[in-house]
Structure 1
Amino acid sequence: MAGERFDQDEEWGHSKNAHDEAESLALHLSAVAARCEEFATAFGCGDEGRACGSLHDLGKLGPPAQQRIKQGKGRSIDHWSFGAHRMLARYGTEGIAAAIAILAHHKGIGRLSKDTLNDLCRLDPWRQWLLDNGSRLSELPPADADAWLASSGLILPESLQSICPWKRISAEEKAAVMTDIRMLFSALVDADFLETEAHFNAPAPDKRYERPRPPKLQAERALLRVLQHIEQCRQRSNAAEHVISMRDDLLAACRAAATEPQGVFTLSAPTGAGKTLAMLAFALDHAARHSLRRIVLVVPYLSIIEQTARIYREIFESDETGFGLHYVLEHHSLTLGPSDVKSDEENERLATARLLTENWDAPVIITTSVQFFESLFSNRPSACRKLHRLARSVVLIDEVQTFPKELAIPTLATLGHLAKQHCCTTVFATATQPAFTHFDDHVKQIGGPGWQPLEIVPPDLNLFDRARRTAVHWPQTDERTSWNELSEQLARHNRVLCIVNLKRHAKRLIELMKDRAGEAGLFHLSTNLCSAHREKILNDVRQRLADASAGPCRLIATQCVEAGVDIDFPTVYRAMGPLDAIAQAAGRCNRNGRQTSGDIHVFRPDPSDDDAEKSLYPPGGYLQAAMRTEGLLKLGDIDIDDPRAFADYYRGLYALGDFMRTDIVEAVLDLDFEKVGELYRLINQQTVNLVVPFDRECELFNSLRDQALEAGLSGEWICRARPLTVAVYGTGERLSGAADPVPLPDWTRRHRGPAGADVSDEWFILRDSDAENYDSVLGLKELPSAWGWIA
């Protein structure tokens, strides 16, 4: 039907595009129905998807709606409720999930209640409610709409067997119900977005826009390429033989587990065991055996994404591999920019990446925990449109120990149901596996299948015993170490890593170390450094560690260095903290097993040597976890190479709270999609992006400032700015005096609120290009405001 002309007196689905062509309503409904059916077929709901697409914009029938579309005149029209009403009228309780998807496809899913559905079934009270709230419904009688459907050529299923009938909605399967409704909603929203785009982005008259098609997963071929890459790494590795043997065994365990049926898995392996590539091999092998479509890697930190994306692209997107451009897509806050910037003159590659990332239309996705999990629990169309891509996929969740326990119950219920109902295998990977089986009964209570994952690594491999590469030296009861004493100890070591809990502690220690040992070979790492600066520091550190004649190498860091950062020190000092953090710190010590044993020194900072009004720990769960470690230590030294120690640690930590009595669990039990979306936050504080003048890239900084003033924010600008960006807690109002908001291009201002806004509230750039606010060692200085920096 693409390019098909129609009588201008017919009902329009969309107004005219740049080629002065309108789109008929029949064409739009037919195109969305076909695409939504395709998407929903992946999770067994093709008929329901077709019905959704066929009826979603039925409210555009009738004179008021048509006047609004054709002339842009008249009061706002609710064009979604009428289609939801006809869905319920036609299919009864089997049409409820589809009706909800239609009702929400522009404004998002609200609270699901029987009263709402009953009101929707009776059009008159619904019409009055809309009028009272400044909108109105199509005035076309239902019988006329049914007749129009019959004459338009739209073929609706005779009956539906819904993924989510009323008997399930009214039962105790709340988390499962919400997941199923979001998946159907996602299929409809994405289909509608794509077909609307096809009309308005038409490249020529009588021609619909077609998105570039990404490559297929080609799992078997991709697996061979990964195995080749692993062998190449093995050949050039300088790791000890017993470490290489351990990595080989982990890979073999992953290959063996890939033959298992789809479900939920854990991958518990010590740091340095080759987990990143081994779990990718599992995912591809598993995908090949079960005909899966996609792999999604979820990681908590941007630093890990940067490192992993380079590895994945080296494997799949180098010239000789032939997997094609956009085989691997990154999706996080710094890749493509804010969601309200929809178009600019980007080059073809960036524009295509932006389009494919909107709905995860690629075989391999690398994303952050924030992006993945907050989308999974969102009620908004733009966030949910990608979710249907999770059907028939493998999701690898790395460094899962960072996941907040307060969100565990609804998250485990949702992931378990995705595996059971939507063929989405999930792997929880870490060296310090949380004891989430503690929540098994709680997960069942809110409608999940429970949580009893299959461990990929058989216990007889004894990986943790074989990986013993360090000796942990715990402090004596009530032993305290001043910063001056600590700097003296660090200065005795030529190569040493020290990890502290807070950035002010790192700054204090850096200042003391400069006086005691000089600046040569002294490094600092925290997220006060932009990514280009962090990358330079890590490269310099690795070069010094690899060259015995390179002189001292002393790195003072916050916990950002602990997960996924491949460095290897002979000695590590770690401030008292959560047990999993201490174990992750140990993973940076004797990582490649070249020494008989590395040394981990755990110390308690002396509170009398610090600001008495400030805590020695970050607030909230971090402090609670550190106190749990202290509690275990009173019983004797802790063996961080024993998984049983972590099971005990996590069980005790979970016992400290009643996680069934949280606002988000209550919202799930109430089927309140909107409230769940508001409450589900991995990071509870707002952040903004600040572009800084890292000295090695000052030319780039000045170029970015000039370009921002001249042309405003764009996707291309954001990609260039990404290496110089620091994420900062707070809002832009608190940054006045030190940084300027980046202007928006003229054409975007009408899309933003408040009315008349002409600058971004997400992107800022420091005013100075010298060292006034950005230090060559410490990075971003404390600005003249009450900002807090992300650790």
Structure 2
Amino acid sequence: MKRFAHSVDGQPEETWEPLSHHLAAVGKSAASFADLFGASPIALAMGLLHDIGKQSEPYQHYIRRPRNAGGPKGPDHSTAGAKEAVTAYGKYLGTLMAFGIAGHHGGLMDGSGHEGSTLPTRLVKTIEHYQGWADHVTGLPAMEAMKPAIMGLKPNAVDRAFTTTFLTRMLFSCLVDADFLETEAFYAQSLGENRPMRGGILTPQHRALVQAYMARHRRDDTPVNRLRSDILDHANGKAALPPGLFTLTVPTGGGKTLTSLSFAMEHAAAHDLRRIIYVIPFTSIIEQTAQIFREHVELGDAVLEHHASFDWDQRRPVSGADEEEEGAQGLAKLRRDAENWDAPIVVTTAVQFFESLFAARTSQARKLHNLAKSVIILDEAQSMPVHLLRPCMAAIDELARNYGATVILCTATQPALRVQDEALPQTDAMKKAGQWEGLDIPEDRELAPNPQALYDQLKRVDVEWRREPVSDADIAARFAKQPQMLCIVNSRAHARDLFDAIRGQEGAVHLTTLMCAKHRRDVLEKLRGDLAMGKPVRLIATSLIEAGVDISFPEVWRAAAGLSSIAQAAWIETPMS
């Protein structure tokens, strides 16, 4: 019986994909992904072994069954490759590979434990006989070819054990994405179609667009505009520094969003980095940032906006050259790019980013390998959750240390995450050795010129702390006297109650995360127009408006919160002229 990896329902076997063809194609594709971080031999072996369980007769009978025939799901075909990986490459390297091979459909498993499936239980599982698998595998690399990928890894600065764990995830990502892409390509070709188009990487044209935009909008007519130009020039002047960790500490109003994009583009060009990943904690600012990049900077379809609130129908391709939305510029391509972040510029949430770094599911993890040799901008870096800070820091360090990525911690209120800050807790061993935990980011890796001085130069508001409690009735009374005012509260329930108190006042409106993305965008757009024309705007909002939303009020009230929230709220206030 001839062995196939994939069948085509209703078509003769001559059109099906031979097992040897699929194994070779996935191995080659996975190896090309892993080549960016020097692990292509390991990824090649994983690709060649991942589906050898399809050699079994029960599996071959299964794929010959018509799809509408019903019956049980197909036999386990992923455990076989995991077993052979351990046999061929030993306990350490073979197990590392086995995690990805055994999980390439169901997801990564735990290495131990009593709940759910674990890798050790899979490796001793009784499965269908798959003798003869070697007849379908050509070019399985020797262990000696794999050793440099392991020996060349530098220990993680936060957790030394994290290095091997992260390599396992990166290889898993290479394998599952290669399997998805090659399977997708086979079924497209079986229908007489070309391999589906994907997004691609940065090009000189993208850099030219950013340079042209920055040149068009450069202004030196006011002290603030001259300061913004100085910040931009200073950051771009450091683009030649080696990839790694950077900070960009610029108070709100200093132009850090576009400065970080400009530096990222110049830095990528200097070091042949492949894409820019812009990570933002809140969807309210993601929509705004992606719109600026896409429409104002004119990067168009090079920008992939990926978050839970993204409206695919609203964000149709800007080229207008694809009526059926299925070609190179179409929505179908944008959806495919979102699956694995195969795009020159990705704007995404911190949740999407960090969940992908630690995901077990194939659909989330497949994008991970595309972070290698990328520029990753972590906007509002102070918003990383404290209870997850250590694993987040370990992942950031690992990407920069072993995967050729540059990571920029970009914020107006820089958290003390550096070793040099001597602020994070010390273990007993660290205390004895006089060491501190954190990311090693020397002073010369700060992209802004003299951040402390920038705070003085960009100061434009006064913050007044009311020691006595301020009631909702007091706020409503203040709204009645001030036609343009914003009040930020800490919960949606409080926002609703306070809005009810001012509902009858002219220009009263509220803004919360319960609003859908389009509604929120429409409300903000109207508010900006009304403010510019001097109309009454009495806005009640939750903290979503603090995350860099482009809007200003002459007076802002903020319910008691942390200093970072108060600082962010202060920059929404513009003194009346």
Provide closer, same or farther for how the CA distance between residues 173 and 551 of structure 1 changes in structure 2, counting only shifts above 3 A: closer
Helix, strand or coil for the counterpart of 1:428?
Answer: strand
Aligned-pair distance for 1:203? 5.5
Post-superposition CA distance 1:423-455 (Å, at most 9, x none): 11111211112222334857x99xx99413343
Helix, strand or coil for the counterpart of 1:570?
Answer: coil
CA–CA separation in structure 1 for the residues paired with 2:487 and 2:74: 61
1:403 equivalenced with 2:384 (yes/no): yes
CA–CA separation in structure 2 for the residues paired with 1:15 and 1:290: 43
1:433 corresponding residue in structure 2: 414
After superposing the two structures, state which structure 1 stretch, 432-441 or 62-71, moved more: 432-441
Note the residue ranges of structure 1 that are not aligned, 5 or more in a row. 1-8, 128-136, 338-344, 596-791
Provide closer, same or farther for how the CA distance between residues 200 and 545 of structure 1 changes in structure 2, counting only shifts above 3 A: same
Aligned-pair distance for 1:334? 3.1
1:295 equivalenced with 2:276 (yes/no): yes
For residues 563-574 of structure 1, the aligned pairs below 5 Å read 563-574=547-558
Q: 2:480 aligns with which of 491, 498, 501?
A: 491
Helix, strand or coil for the counterpart of 1:77?
Answer: coil
The code of the aligned residue for 2:267 comes to: H
Helix, strand or coil for the counterpart of 1:508?
Answer: helix
1:526 corresponding residue in structure 2: 512
CA–CA separation in structure 1 for the residues paired with 2:528 and 2:113: 61
2:197 corresponding residue in structure 1: 212
CA–CA separation in structure 2 for the residues paired with 1:331 and 1:63: 42
Aligned-pair distance for 1:117? 6.8
Q: 1:452 aligns with which of 440, 449, 460?
A: 440
The code of the aligned residue for 2:208 comes to: L
The code of the aligned residue for 1:107 comes to: G
Helix, strand or coil for the counterpart of 1:326?
Answer: helix
CA–CA separation in structure 2 for the residues paired with 1:258 and 1:449: 27
CA–CA separation in structure 1 for the residues paired with 2:33 and 2:485: 53
1:329 corresponding residue in structure 2: 304
* Paired residues of 2:245 and 2:407 also in contact (CA < 8 A): yes
Helix, strand or coil for the counterpart of 2:53?
Answer: helix
2:111 corresponding residue in structure 1: 112
* Paired residues of 2:52 and 2:77 also in contact (CA < 8 A): yes
Q: 1:286 aligns with which of 267, 273, 277?
A: 267
1:81 equivalenced with 2:66 (yes/no): no
Q: 1:580 aligns with which of 556, 564, 571?
A: 564
* Paired residues of 1:199 and 1:208 also in contact (CA < 8 A): no
1:536 equivalenced with 2:522 (yes/no): yes
1:56 corresponding residue in structure 2: 50
* Paired residues of 1:97 and 1:164 also in contact (CA < 8 A): no
CA–CA separation in structure 2 for the residues paired with 1:536 and 1:53: 48
CA–CA separation in structure 2 for the residues paired with 1:114 and 1:487: 56
Percent identity of equivalent pairs: 39
TM, length-normalised to structure 2: 0.85
* Paired residues of 2:247 and 2:446 also in contact (CA < 8 A): yes
1:250 equivalenced with 2:237 (yes/no): no
2:502 corresponding residue in structure 1: 513
For residues 575-654 of structure 1, the aligned pairs below 5 Å read 575-590=559-574, 595=577
Aligned-pair distance for 1:586? 0.5
2:316 corresponding residue in structure 1: none
Helix, strand or coil for the counterpart of 2:195?
Answer: coil
After superposing the two structures, state which structure 1 stretch, 273-282 or 209-218, moved more: 209-218
CA–CA separation in structure 1 for the residues paired with 2:518 and 2:59: 52
Helix, strand or coil for the counterpart of 1:126?
Answer: coil
* Paired residues of 1:294 and 1:362 also in contact (CA < 8 A): yes
The code of the aligned residue for 1:283 comes to: A
1:641 corresponding residue in structure 2: none
Provide closer, same or farther for how the CA distance between residues 108 and 201 of structure 1 changes in structure 2, counting only shifts above 3 A: same
2:30 corresponding residue in structure 1: 36
Provide closer, same or farther for how the CA distance between residues 546 and 533 of structure 1 changes in structure 2, counting only shifts above 3 A: same
Provide closer, same or farther for how the CA distance between residues 56 and 440 of structure 1 changes in structure 2, counting only shifts above 3 A: farther
For residues 76-155 of structure 1, the aligned pairs below 5 Å read 76-92=74-90, 93-113=92-112, 125-127=124-126, 137-141=127-131, 144-146=132-134, 148-149=135-136, 154-155=138-139
CA–CA separation in structure 2 for the residues paired with 1:494 and 1:114: 61
* Paired residues of 1:360 and 1:389 also in contact (CA < 8 A): yes
Q: 1:415 aligns with which of 386, 396, 407?
A: 396
The code of the aligned residue for 2:28 comes to: A
CA–CA separation in structure 2 for the residues paired with 1:436 and 1:241: 34
Aligned-pair distance for 1:75? 7.3
1:368 equivalenced with 2:357 (yes/no): no
CA–CA separation in structure 1 for the residues paired with 2:529 and 2:547: 20
1:470 equivalenced with 2:461 (yes/no): yes
1:356 equivalenced with 2:346 (yes/no): no
Provide closer, same or farther for how the CA distance between residues 62 and 530 of structure 1 changes in structure 2, counting only shifts above 3 A: closer
Helix, strand or coil for the counterpart of 1:111?
Answer: coil
Post-superposition CA distance 1:552-589 (Å, at most 9, x none): 33222221111121112122111111111111100101
Would you identify which runs of 4 or more consecutive aligned residues in structure 1 move more than 6 Å? 72-75, 114-121
Provide closer, same or farther for how the CA distance between residues 13 and 307 of structure 1 changes in structure 2, counting only shifts above 3 A: same
* Paired residues of 1:17 and 1:200 also in contact (CA < 8 A): no
1:12 corresponding residue in structure 2: 4
The code of the aligned residue for 2:202 comes to: L
Aligned-pair distance for 1:540? 2.6
CA RMSD, Structure 1 to Structure 2 (Å): 2.9
Aligned-pair distance for 1:420? 0.4
Aligned-pair distance for 1:164? 4.8
Provide closer, same or farther for how the CA distance between residues 12 and 260 of structure 1 changes in structure 2, counting only shifts above 3 A: same
* Paired residues of 2:99 and 2:109 also in contact (CA < 8 A): no
CA–CA separation in structure 1 for the residues paired with 2:56 and 2:89: 23
* Paired residues of 1:198 and 1:210 also in contact (CA < 8 A): yes
Provide closer, same or farther for how the CA distance between residues 530 and 76 of structure 1 changes in structure 2, counting only shifts above 3 A: closer
Helix, strand or coil for the counterpart of 1:78?
Answer: coil
CA–CA separation in structure 2 for the residues paired with 1:234 and 1:525: 33
CA–CA separation in structure 2 for the residues paired with 1:530 and 1:140: 52
Helix, strand or coil for the counterpart of 2:485?
Answer: strand
CA–CA separation in structure 2 for the residues paired with 1:503 and 1:334: 18
Helix, strand or coil for the counterpart of 1:497?
Answer: strand
Helix, strand or coil for the counterpart of 1:501?
Answer: coil
CA–CA separation in structure 2 for the residues paired with 1:367 and 1:88: 37
TM, length-normalised to structure 1: 0.63
Q: How many residue pairs align between the two structures?
A: 535
* Paired residues of 1:37 and 1:48 also in contact (CA < 8 A): yes
CA–CA separation in structure 1 for the residues paired with 2:113 and 2:450: 50
Aligned-pair distance for 1:60? 1.2
1:23 equivalenced with 2:17 (yes/no): yes
* Paired residues of 2:396 and 2:407 also in contact (CA < 8 A): yes
CA–CA separation in structure 2 for the residues paired with 1:168 and 1:95: 21
Post-superposition CA distance 1:147-200 (Å, at most 9, x none): x14xx5x212133325458x999xx73322221111000000000011111222
2:374 corresponding residue in structure 1: 393
1:313 corresponding residue in structure 2: 294
CA–CA separation in structure 2 for the residues paired with 1:233 and 1:491: 38
Helix, strand or coil for the counterpart of 2:140?
Answer: coil
* Paired residues of 1:258 and 1:285 also in contact (CA < 8 A): yes
1:45 equivalenced with 2:39 (yes/no): yes
For residues 374-385 of structure 1, the aligned pairs below 5 Å read 374-385=355-366
